Structure 1
Amino acid sequence: MRQVIVAVLAGFILAGCVQKFPGPITVKPEPINTSEQEVKAKIDNFYSECSKLKDAFKCKRLADDIYKSGDFRSAAIAYDMICSGFQYIPACKQLADMFAHGDGMPKDIDTAVTIYQIACNNGDNNSCDLARNLRVQNSKK
């Protein structure tokens, strides 16, 4: 019995250590319209909060909250700041997804492929597949 408890506890501990990146956003919210002034204010606030946190994971969670509110324009800017500033793969992937689907910006497959390729070059195998698949789809058009 003691071995079972130790094994279960070890599993919980390892599960917490293994999860390196947050999961992707699985539900796409309804987009909302925001003015340039609202976007600027939201990004200024995001930048201020993220600068205090100095942690890519926590900054991405802030950007995820913006995305989940439906403000895709502000979320794209926030993800771009995290991707370029921290070179944080989950933020880069979310930004690439947004370009691939045209969320908050015009759909741009070439930019999505470029961002996925950057994530791929930094060791994210899923991004390698996504870049390759988008290239193939884009070449068929």
Structure 2
Amino acid sequence: MRRVVLSILVGFALAGCLPKTPSPITIKPAPAPASKQEIKIKIESFYAQCSQQNDAAKCKGLVDEIYKSGDFKSAAIAYDMVCYGFQYIPACKQLADMFAHGDGVPKDADTAISIYQIACNNGDNNSCDLARNLRVQNQNR
């Protein structure tokens, strides 16, 4: 019986029928400074595109492209919009990572912990671990 269930699950996975969660960004690009005007234009464009799509995963995909371009300041603003606007955990986690490492925002462990905790409270166990580890690191300093 286990083999049958496992075979069915493998079949669904290969067919692409299982829900896909966006993969985290694993390679950090080199920072690309942007002026306030460039950031404003990028965020307005992002907001217009995201509003048309009205889909959290697609909006996060748009932000991921901004992040990959190295414009961390614009990406932080846009991740914040997706995180809080859609309550979309992958965007929240990326925003928390940015605060934890100071990418485009001031390095702020307390803010990162708070955002990780939101993701944790919404069932993301990895965020629970990240929040706990960051707390321990802060206590040891």
TM-score, normalised to structure 1's length? Answer: 0.91
Shift, 1:31, TM fit: 0.2
Shift, 1:11, TM fit: 1.9
The residue that corresponds to 2:139 in the other structure is 139
The residue that corresponds to 2:23 in the other structure is 23
Range with greater deviation from structure 2 (92-101 or 20-29) = 20-29
The residue that corresponds to 1:37 in the other structure is 37
Distance 2:93 2:63 in 1: 13
The residue that corresponds to 1:11 in the other structure is 10
- 1:58 and 2:58 are equivalent in the alignment: yes
Aligned length, in residue pairs: 136
Shift, 1:105, TM fit: 1.2
Root mean square deviation, CA, Å: 1.8
- Structure 2: which amino acid aligns with 1:93? K
Consecutive unaligned residues in structure 2, runs of 5 or more:
1-6
User: Share of identical aligned residues, percent?
Assistant: 69
TM-score, normalised to structure 2's length? Answer: 0.91
Shift, 1:133, TM fit: 0.2
Consecutive unaligned residues in structure 1, runs of 5 or more:
1-6
The residue that corresponds to 2:105 in the other structure is 105
SS at match of 2:123: coil
Distance 1:17 1:97 in 2: 30
